Amino acid sequence: MKENRVKPSNGKLGVMCVGLGAVTTTTIAGVLMSRKGLSKPIGSFACEGIMRLGKGSDKIYKEVKHILPIAPLHDIVFGAWDIYEDNGYEAAVKANVLRSSDIDPIKDELTQIQPYKALFDKSYATNIDGPNVKEPATRWEQTEELRKDIRHFKEANNCDRVVVIWIASTEKYIPRDEKVHGSLSSFEAAMKADDKEHIAPSMCYAYAAMREGCPFVMGAPNLCIDIPAMWELANETKMPISGKDFKSGQTMMKTVLAPAFFTRQLGVTGWFSTNILGNRDGIVLDAPENFETKRRSKMSAVENILDSDIYPQLYSDIYHKVRINYYPPRGDEKESWDNIDIFGWMGYPMTIKVNFLCRDSILAAPIALDLILFSDIALRSGLYGIQDFLSFYCKAPMHADNEKPVHDLFKQFAMLKNKIRELAGYEADQELD
pLDDT of residue 224: 97
Across the range 7-11, mean pLDDT stands at 96
pLDDT of residue 136: 87
With a cut of 60, say whether residue 319 has pLDDT above it: yes
Q: If we measure between CA atoms, which residue out of 213, 219, 221 comes closest to residue 240?
A: 213
Q: Which of 40-54, 277-291, 348-362 has the lowest mean pLDDT?
A: 277-291
Across the range 411-430, mean pLDDT stands at 94
pLDDT of residue 147: 98
Q: If we measure between CA atoms, which residue out of 226, 231, 236 comes closest to residue 166?
A: 226
Which domains, and CATH codes, for the chain? 12-246+362-423 (3.40.50.720), 250-357 (3.30.360.10)
Q: What percent of the chain has pLDDT over 70?
A: 99
CA gap 81, 300 in Å, rounded: 30
Across the range 403-408, mean pLDDT stands at 93
pLDDT of residue 135: 93
The residues, ordered by sequence, that sit 6+ positions from 433 with a Cβ below 8 Å of its Cβ are none
Per the model's pLDDT, the better-predicted residue between 141 and 433 turns out to be: 141
Across the range 348-376, mean pLDDT stands at 97
Q: Which helix (DSSP H) or strand (DSSP E) does residue 355 occupy? A: strand 349-357
Q: Where are the alpha helices (DSSP H) in 276-318?
A: 280-285, 288-305, 312-315
Per 3-state DSSP, the chain is made up of helix, strand and coil in percentages (nearest 5) of 45, 20, 35
pLDDT digit string, tens, across residues 81-140: 999 999 999 999 999 999 999 999 999 999 999 999 999 999 999 999 999 999 989 999
With a cut of 90, say whether residue 423 has pLDDT above it: yes
Q: If we measure between CA atoms, which residue out of 128, 129, 98 comes closest to residue 28?
A: 98
Across the range 4-22, mean pLDDT stands at 96
CA gap 249, 23 in Å, rounded: 13
With a cut of 80, say whether residue 431 has pLDDT above it: no
pLDDT of residue 100: 97
The residues, ordered by sequence, that sit 6+ positions from 431 with a Cβ below 8 Å of its Cβ are none
pLDDT digit string, tens, across residues 176-207: 999 999 999 999 999 999 999 999 999 999 99
pLDDT of residue 3: 80
56 — pLDDT class (breaks 50, 70, 90): confident
Across the range 376-393, mean pLDDT stands at 98
Across the range 370-382, mean pLDDT stands at 98
With a cut of 80, say whether residue 432 has pLDDT above it: no
pLDDT of residue 121: 97
Average pLDDT of the chain is 96
Residue 23 in contact with residue 93, Cβ under 8 Å?
no
Across the range 57-72, mean pLDDT stands at 96
Across the range 380-385, mean pLDDT stands at 98
pLDDT digit string, tens, across residues 233-253: 999 999 999 999 999 999 999
pLDDT of residue 433: 58
326 — pLDDT class (breaks 50, 70, 90): very high
CA gap 336, 247 in Å, rounded: 14
With a cut of 90, say whether residue 297 has pLDDT above it: no
Across the range 404-427, mean pLDDT stands at 95
